[in-house]
Structure 1
Amino acid sequence: MAKRNLRRSDDPARPCPCGHGPAYRDCCGPMHQGVTSAATAEALMRSRFSAYAVGDTSYLLRTWHPATRPGRLTLDAQQRWTRLEILDTGRGGLFDTTGTVEFRAHYRDRGQPGMLHERSRFQRADGQWVYVDGTLSD
């Protein structure tokens, strides 16, 4: 497995960036390490946000649908993902094969606050949830 490029300390007891679990090691960390996989589209969305926050590009690529996955991914070292808001979900449950998650992802870029508002599409591929694509909103 490729080494993760963590932007924060390697303290596994730190709060999870996704805001859902109490500690990274008990929330998104096991998914990033390949120990567990996301049970729902929302869980995958949360784990992908956390991967952006900690700089885990290998996880992001691994959880991207093969048809839409870029050849490589480079994260901006000046951009810090700070907070995730889940606004809506459609399907994406334990027995679904597709789902959507609308969210707002907050960040700081070169000291300035910003926000990304997207409705993402997810699909099961080989039994695992993957990110397909998204539509940005204002």
Structure 2
Amino acid sequence: MGAIESSRAFFKALKRREKEVTTGFKDGIAIPHSKNKTVLKPTLMFIKFTNPIEWESMDDKPVHIAFALAIPEGKNQEHLKLLSTISRALIDDSFTEAILEATSEKEILELVQAKLANSEE
């Protein structure tokens, strides 16, 4: 079973959330997130765009990568914990640089897993 029952409903929820307040971080990174009833379990998705996307961000730069958070409705604690973890990770310039320069799914997965594991210690 997947993490999201309706990708269309989830995408609409992401767009609605983005209209409220931008999730554009800095250095070409965004953290779009939404709580939605079609989400079955908290999920972190990593998206690396082939071409940068114009995005309202803190530094007015286009976005190259996004960490999208899918959270079930009513799971506020999980939402805040995951959002906080990713935000803290992105303050680490060496992590941000490594993620932006990564060229394979395996490399990205290893970087993210290592960073998330370190944040739980």
TM range (shorter): 0.3 to 0.5
| TM-score normalized with structure 1 length | 0.31
Q: Which has the higher helix share?
A: 2
- Structure 2 length-normalised TM: 0.34
Q: Which has the higher strand share?
A: 1
